[in-house]
Amino acid sequence: MPRNFARHEQFLRIFALLETLSTARTPLDDQTLIATLKERLGLKELSVRTLHRDCDFLAACGYPLDHVPLPPARRQGWMLDKEALAARKIPAEPLTLLELVAFMIGRDLMRPFEGTVLWTGIESLRHKLEQSLPPGLLERLEGARRVFHVSGECPSRYADRPRLISTLSTAITDCCEIDVTLKAESGATSCHRLRPLRLVIEPPRVRLLALETTADADPPLLLDLDRIETVATRDATFVPPDIDAADSIRRAIHRP
């Protein structure tokens, strides 16, 4: 990764640290802070040494950061002096070049969904972002995007069926049964009554994870949306099972 992107990641980490400490009511120990930052930023690793270096940087910038003892003995926690901090306004977190490049790469990966509600949301967010960016940052974004090239199959795979994903996502949200007509490689069709559970995105395609409504419905089905000719929502609801999506997908793949 280019050095400028690594510096942006460092900025995001330090800003997240500052915001976390500014809202904490009690001192936070190293492991609590590390777990919070890893979850917020999606970090795989964050060492105690790096955390201490970031805390030292904030203190060097004039933020009233203290390392105080915690019970039981031999533990310490980090906290900001709220009274001293009251005179120092924490700025709103700005968008960074790293965040914008990551979004644009994600947009390129989602191009197969042009013409669907997913693409509408992506393009609406892109427009809002670009409208809010200063010209200098927009220019830097264009240059930074050239670092990455997303290749592979990128057609508008679902553009001719714009409501398919919307219909299925609504049925999943509302826990409604659906009737679908599936086509086989031979050209034959079959009708199924299903309980939809998830839309599984595997660029450039989407598959539907669903249970049949029969008593022996498990394991679930995993159906490529390209096989669905028609789908209709039924006036019948169901109680969704508490599933592990990854395990259900694995069992569906190995379904006899």
Task: Tell me, yes or no, whether 180 lies in a domain.
Answer: yes
Q: Is position 154 within any domain?
A: no
Same domain membership, residue 80 and residue 9: yes
Looking at the structure, do residues 110 and 183 belong to the same domain, yes or no?
A: no
Grouping H, G, I as helix, E, B as strand and the rest as coil, residue 182 is strand
74 shares its domain with 130: no
Q: Is residue 159 part of a domain?
A: no
The CA distance from 247 to 81, in Å, is 46
**Average pLDDT over every residue of 188-217:** 87
> Is residue 175 in some structural domain?
yes
Complete edge-to-edge strand list for the sheet that includes strand 228-237: 221-224, 205-212, 189-202, 176-183, 228-237
Please state the three-class secondary structure of 229-246 as a single string: EEEEEEEEECCCCCCCHH
How far is Cα 71 from Cα 67, in angstroms, rounded to an integer?
Answer: 13
Helix pair 3-23, 48-60: axis angle to 10 deg:
80
Q: How confident is the model at residue 110 (pLDDT cuts 50, 70, 90)?
A: confident
Q: Say yes or no to pLDDT of 137 above 80.
A: yes
Q: Quote the number of domains for the chain.
A: 3
pLDDT of residue 60: 84
What span, in angstroms and rounded, lies between the C-alpha atoms of 22 and 81?
9
Q: What is the pTM of this model?
A: 0.63
Considering the domain architecture, whether residues 76 and 20 belong to the same structural domain is answered as: yes
For tokens 């690793």, the residue is 45
Residue (of 208, 202, 230, 232) closest to 221 by Cα position: 208
Q: What is the pLDDT of residues 21-31, one digit of tens each?
A: 988 888 999 99
Q: Give yes or no for residue 221 having a pLDDT over 80.
A: yes
pLDDT in tens, 226-253: 899 999 999 999 998 888 888 888 888 7
In a domain, 90, yes or no: no
Beta-sheet strand order (sheet of 75-80): 28-29, 75-80, 65-70
Rg, the chain, Cα only: 25
SS3 string of 41-83?
HCCCCCCHHHHHHHHHHHHHCCCCEEEEEECCCCEEEEEECHH
Task: Please report, for the domain that includes residue 229, its CATH number.
Answer: 2.30.30
- Looking at the predicted structure, is the pLDDT value of residue 16 above 80? yes
Q: Are residues 62 and 129 in the same domain?
A: no
215 and 171 within one domain: yes
157 is a domain residue: no
Is the preceding peptide bond at 203 cis, omega within 30 degrees of 0? no
Q: Which residue has the higher pLDDT, 194 or 9?
A: 194
Determine the structural domain holding residue 31 and report its residue range. 3-85
Tell which residue, 129, 33, 114, 116, has the closest CA to residue 79.
Answer: 33
The answer to whether position 121 is within a domain reads yes
Whether 70 is covered by a domain: the verdict is: yes
